[in-house]
Amino acid sequence: MLGYQILKGRRWWLTIFLIPCVIGLFFMSTLQDLNVHQLIIEINNEDEMAESVVDNTSYRRYARYKALQVWKDHSLWGVGPGMFGGDIAVKHRSPVYEEYNFSSVSLNEYHDLDQFWPQALAELGIIGVMAFVVFSVSLLVIFFIARQRTNSDEMKNLFIGLILFTVFNLINTLSSSLNIISILYPYSAFVGIGLGSSRLYNDNYPHLNI
């Protein structure tokens, strides 16, 4: 939000408030739970690691390591949607968990990986992840174009909110997943309201009015 205000109003003095955010993000990037490269280097005995899963942080490291193992063997297409990482894979007893010797103790305690990108890589591979990125970027482009075409100030503000909301969802994938209903339902509702509104297009695009 600060960055948007800076770009919109050229209020460069607001950059001072961004400094703590940048420092905080840099510090978080060095944490063991977020440093994937360091994680791969440190793991020498996965059996010992499985036994050490006692809280959410150590579980996420273990689950991420297993997901990278799955992705390494199925790098292009992954093992398929719903086959590894999500609650549905646990309920339907996906054979992928047994194949990769996923800790049964951890599986009973946590029904998903609680992190988006490792699960996306394992289930969808590079092709699926690229498709998701293209879809997300396309949404941002559509919202931007829609904002330019509408004559309504309310709709312009709505599309600004949707652009920021989409960016927030993408940032959220770095820490958790996209299966939070309280976020997805309102987001989808406002997307439908915005794109389905007859005020979306101005008089230069009468054939596109709904």
Q: Which two tokens stand for residue 91?
A: 């309920």
Contacts of 26 (CB under 8 A, 6+ apart): none
Which tens digits make up the pLDDT trace of 183-207?
Answer: 889 999 999 888 887 555 544 455 5
pTM: 0.69
**Amino acid (1-letter code) at residue 7:** L
Q: How far is CA 180 from CA 15, 45, 121, 176, in A?
A: 32, 33, 19, 9
Nearest of 170, 151, 164 to residue 190 by alpha carbon: 164
Q: How far apart are CA 105 and CA 116, in angstroms?
A: 21
Average pLDDT, the chain: 78
DSSP for 20-85, written as a single string: HHHHHHHHHHTSTTT-HHHHHHH-S-HHHHHHT--SHHHHHHHHHHHHHHHHHHSTTT-S-TTSSS
CA angle 48, 49, 51 (to 5 degrees): 65
Q: How far apart are CA 187 and CA 208, in angstroms?
A: 24
Average pLDDT over residues 33-41: 49
Residues, the chain, total?
210
pLDDT digits (tens, 9 = 90+) for 41-85: 444 455 555 545 544 557 888 888 899 999 999 999 999 999 998
- CB-based burial of residue 206 (10 Å sphere; 0-12 exposed, 13-18 middle, 19+ buried)? exposed
pLDDT value at 170 more than 80: yes
CA distance 28 to 33: 9
Pick from 107, 98, 108, 121: which is nearest to 36 by CA? 121
**Cα 125 to chain center, whole Å?**
15
Give the 3-state secondary structure of residue 158.
helix
